[in-house]
Structure 1
């Protein structure tokens, strides 16, 4: 908007967090002024659950990572890929835990799930849910947007029978929606997780650190939480970059990020009053 455009006119560097569309405008404006810009933009973060994972731990972590802030975070888990041999107990546990969450209504102390921030965002959530159901998704719990005292709310929703033809698996939903999709091999899991324009962060759950790291190293994202969800947002000393359409220009985190807010200048001092041999006279 006008405010952002005016700010870029008078700064030496831009650090922006927001949508891909706005980030592209910021990057273009910064380039016109020849100033650095580093951007953290949208995400469609995957969680991969291997058959060796602790299901109780995985379902609790993924539930939190998917619905905290009502799912309105670029680092939210928005796609869940589970080994087909354990998908039934995984979904059962996830749905059971979801039933214990309540809306923060009529006061924040009454629950864990806050309202949707704007009506346009609520419309995106409704559109993604309707699109998924029309294409064959099954709603295990939740499943809609409701209005309470003028506010818009969405209860945590678990979807199964989803695929990558659905908006809920390919576009940023920004809501407390948990689509769960099975995979048969690790190769398929990695391929599905990387099948996106985004590359912000991810989560991998496995019975051993080595097993999890073998998968995590193949994910095209800037940071991966192992046997947790959201560590990538909480550990600020770790440098985390954004890949693909999720960002540009390096991390805002870690020691290296501080140097991105600085400009280096060199001072070369002649310490002796002697003539340089390459001078003309």
Structure 2
């Protein structure tokens, strides 16, 4: 990997680990300065463990702060920041849109929610961090927010605006979107269907947000970093269940109870700035 720095912009605690946990662990292990920005505390997340379902609102947000701290420790990330400070913007919530895990904005978004009206303040807060960190590569979501959550969409919007403000000529900062390669996910799901012991339904690949494999511009093999990713997934226990019997691939599930594979690589699509290579998020020096 390049000397970096690397900066990631994610909407809620757990998003960073699901999409980029292995890359962060690899980057930190390689000595790449890595900064994680989280935009909300995920106060409207659905809680999986029955013993924690009393947590709602600010109480859930505070609990998820601790989960994220434990996940960062598992990944080795020491520079984590809440955009604008913890609790400045709250989880906007979502509604399901069709089958699987695709989402959309709720009919009403509260004024203090991240997908509300403070976009200029959010861009300004992110510009401040970009100027301080001076990253060579930035990771966030695509224009659809990956799976449609309004906070993911807003995270994409402010990231692109902030990077354009800091690097208007698109010569210094490379921006990539997290992505799931359709055929790789499909193969992982098929392997999960052969696990008779797995106590979860395995969805068809079309119920998950994927992109055609040919559109993937960078694919990072995780190797041993996947062990750290699995530990970080377990740290987000209110949101994620992990199933691992030692065979390929391990599985995780969100509150919808649908099994998804924890693949051996994380994939990205180039959005802006100098292009990297198939196996490196950073452009050649």
- Which bin holds the TM-score, normalised by the shorter protein? under 0.3
Give the structure with higher Rg (CA).
1
What TM-score, normalized to structure 2?
0.26
Which one has more relative contact order, counting CA pairs under 8 Å at least 6 apart? 2
